[in-house]
Amino acid sequence: MVAPLRADIAREHGDELDTLVTDWLNVPDAAERMGTDAAAVRRMLQERQLLAVRRTERNIVMVPADFCTPEGPLQHLRGTLSVLLDSGFNDVETIRWLFTPDESLPGTPVQAMQANRKTEVRRRAQALSF
């Protein structure tokens, strides 16, 4: 069983997230992309290496596709998630922040992490807690 994902909050904000996150993966598809099995993805969710929200009418657990690479979770994601979650962000707010364009980066925080610019992203995330 997947750890609580604050699914009720996520369902209320599904349309909003759809404008920011264009590609989602269910747990089996995330596992296939990362070259692992569904049980490992569920552990990653429990350990907060990945984030997911429940989506669709069937309330399927879905992971933003940009979080999953053939090598595993996006490099630097876990630490960035820790900073945001420790700052009081819930899962939906965290995903929203990671996918919202920031002109000063430029692009989105997730794009900056994909470009190996984690320090800039984490600096901005830490500033949110003040």
Its sign, for the CA torsion 118, 22, 96, 7, is negative
- At 78 the pLDDT is 95
- At 34 the pLDDT is 98
pLDDT tens, position by position, for the chain (130 residues)?
444 444 444 444 456 898 999 999 999 999 999 999 999 999 999 999 999 999 888 899 999 999 999 999 999 999 999 999 999 999 999 999 999 999 888 899 999 999 999 999 999 999 887 6
- At 129 the pLDDT is 72
**Residue 127: count of CB within 10 angstroms of its CB:** 9
Instruction: Map tokens 């996150």 to a residue.
Output: 21
Specify the DSSP class assigned to residue 100.
S
Q: Provide the whole-model pTM.
A: 0.85
Instruction: Map tokens 């759809």 to a residue.
Output: 18
- At 7 the pLDDT is 44
- At 14 the pLDDT is 53
- At 130 the pLDDT is 64
